[in-house]
Amino acid sequence: MNSIIVTPHDRIFKASLKNIKVAREYFEKYLPEKALKAINLNVLEPCPEIYVNQYLELSESDMVYKTQISGETGYICLAAEHQSTDEVFMPFRMLKYDVAIWQFHKDQNPKSKKLPLIINLVFYSGKKPYQNSTDFKDLLNAPKELVEAFWATPFTLIQAQNIPDDQLLLQKYAGIFMYFMKYIHEPDFLPYLKVVLPLLKAIDEENGVQYIEALNNYALTAGEFSSTEDYVKLLKNALSKTTGEKVMTGAEQLIEIGALKGERTLLKRQLVRRFGSVPSSYLEKVENADADRLLKIGDKIIEATNLDDVFKNYH
């Protein structure tokens, strides 16, 4: 965001527009007729700068007003440009203001499912007539028909669950990661891995070891398996020796990390059940313990009469 500009022009503009009587008359005169019919200027109020400036750095002369537009909360963003020539990126500046105002409103109204309408105005007092476009779309360096087709239009939705498996599996590279993500939350990912083994083999033959590693790490980190041994065996047999060894090294490390994570979670639950409230300092000791230490803590939970005894002589 631009640095704060402090000039006599900025000061008088903001001092004037902070006055609600001035602001109402200003908007009554310069807002488009359609906007005036929808806006309730009787409830116009400047937004507290202490809050707004957490989201955007308003220049000394820029103002944001909260109001009602067709009965719903809305905003008017009034910016000023006092330079001798107009700024080509003014539409971009206004867009950044709008995004920041929406974030401000969303944080102030966390339960709301809608964003407010913002009406933008720019006051220009340069010596030369304003030459540049007021439309953000004109800043986009693309054919006009593409800009009209894709800017500020509904986004293209690619929904994995609606794409048939046979279509996904026809895409050797782009389809496989979507297939993984489509089924990663199943209780057992192993059957789905079997389906894509031919694709993984084909990717391996085209030197795609890094991609296979990424898919493998994702499956082991986010998925569930009825047998991790079967998972490792299937993957290793489908891949070349070099790729298999490289991927399996990472797989074994992730499996070990996953097992330790599960053991830590179990020990924390056992501590709470046995002794009630457990200080965070003790929980951190469990979280940082290696496999041998976790085994000792587990034995002491059974034997100890109090929480301190569990972690006695713990280093």
Query: Would residue 167 count as lying in a domain?
Result: yes
In the chain, the number of structural domains is 2
Are residues 186 and 105 both part of a single domain? no
Q: Give the C-alpha separation, 289 to 300, whole Å.
A: 14
Encode the chain (315 residues) as per-residue pLDDT tens digits: 444 445 677 777 778 888 899 999 999 999 999 999 999 999 999 887 666 677 777 666 688 999 999 999 999 999 888 766 668 999 998 999 999 999 989 998 999 999 999 999 998 887 888 889 999 999 999 999 999 999 989 999 999 999 999 999 999 899 999 999 999 999 999 999 999 999 999 999 999 888 998 898 888 878 888 887 788 888 888 988 888 877 777 666 656 666 667 777 878 888 888 888 888 888 888 888 777 787 788 878 877 888 888 887 765
Query: Would residue 312 count as lying in a domain?
Result: no
H/E stretch holding 65 reads strand 63-69
Residue 96, domain extent: 8-150
Query: Would residue 280 count as lying in a domain?
Result: no
Name the residue with tokens 């079967």. 230
Query: Would residue 52 count as lying in a domain?
Result: yes
Are residues 45 and 25 both part of a single domain? yes
Are residues 119 and 232 both part of a single domain? no
Query: Would residue 306 count as lying in a domain?
Result: no
Q: Give the C-alpha separation, 309 to 315, whole Å.
A: 13
Are residues 171 and 99 both part of a single domain? no
Are residues 84 and 206 both part of a single domain? no
Q: Give the C-alpha separation, 198 to 201, whole Å.
A: 5
Q: Which of 150, 169, 191 is the last residue of a domain?
A: 150
Are residues 55 and 127 both part of a single domain? yes
Are residues 48 and 76 both part of a single domain? yes
Are residues 78 and 194 both part of a single domain? no
Are residues 171 and 224 both part of a single domain? yes
In order, the DSSP letters of 96-107 are: HHHHHHHHHHHH
pTM of the entire predicted model: 0.69
Query: Would residue 296 count as lying in a domain?
Result: no
